[in-house]
Amino acid sequence: MSAVIIVVIVVVLLAAFGAAMYNALVRLNQQSNEAWSDITVQLKRRADLIPNLVNAVKGYAKHEKSVFEDVTAARANTLSAKTPAEAGKAEGDFQKTLKSLFAVAEAYPDLKATENFQQLQAELTDTEDKIQASRRFYNGVVRDFNSKRKTFPTNIFAGMLGFRQDKEFFEVDQAQTAAIQNPVDVQF
């Protein structure tokens, strides 16, 4: 009789342990999905601001057509990114073209002084800050999920519970990061 009770207790404890492990993985998975959604919301918000910013600069710098086309293409790539890797590449391209747009704006003091342009710049700066915060949160949750999935004893059961692969971090690739940091040469 006592052997049966011990077996039942062990089975109950293993079931509770398995349920806790599964729930922790599900919670982290959901948090990473939510964090990714937050990033896409902020990227969409920024993409919505860009046409207004481009139009404000266009009025002053009509002959800078290639800059406007590059910004528009980078905006489209950002909106079409589906994975963190695609978003990271699009983010690097976007930052580079946005830097070019601001370099053009620097050449026009009247443009920089307009209230509309200043407001757009402030909103864009606020959005960039939110993107960075969302990105840090997402990468933190991905780190936690990947760590949980790989640590003992969860690593033994994670695959059986349906969690077979790591989540992908949102990173801007190094070549693009270097290009963003270099000054843009604008000549008229």
pLDDT tens digits for range 84-142: 989 888 888 888 888 888 888 888 777 777 788 888 888 888 999 999 999 999 999 99
Domain-located, residue 84: yes
CA 16 to chain centre: 35
More confident residue, 173 or 162: 162
User: Which pLDDT does position 179 carry in this prediction?
Assistant: 44
Domain-located, residue 186: no
The confidence band for 143, taking pLDDT boundaries of 50, 70 and 90, is very high
Domain-located, residue 187: no
Are 88 and 36 contacting, i.e. CB atoms less than 8 angstroms apart? no
Number of structural domains the chain divides into: 1
Domain-located, residue 136: yes
Can you tell me the mean pLDDT for 138-165? Answer: 93
CATH number of 140's domain: 1.20.1440.20
Domain-located, residue 55: yes
DSSP class of 151: S
Can you tell me the mean pLDDT for 65-74? Answer: 84
User: Which pLDDT does position 170 carry in this prediction?
Assistant: 92
Beta carbons within 8 Å of 121's beta carbon, 6+ residues apart: 53
Domain-located, residue 188: no
Are 163 and 149 contacting, i.e. CB atoms less than 8 angstroms apart? yes
Domain-located, residue 150: yes
Are 89 and 173 contacting, i.e. CB atoms less than 8 angstroms apart? yes
Domain-located, residue 62: yes
Least confident interval from 83-92, 131-140, 160-169, 178-187:
178-187
Q: What is the pTM of this model?
A: 0.75
**b/e string for 52-70 if b means 16 or more Cβ within 10 A?**
ebbebbeebbeebeebbeb
Can you tell me the mean pLDDT for 44-71? Answer: 82
CA neighbours closer than 13 Å in the CB half-sphere of residue 79:
13
Q: 40 is in which domain, residue-wise?
A: 2-181
User: Which pLDDT does position 91 carry in this prediction?
Assistant: 86
Q: What is the mean pLDDT of the chain?
A: 85
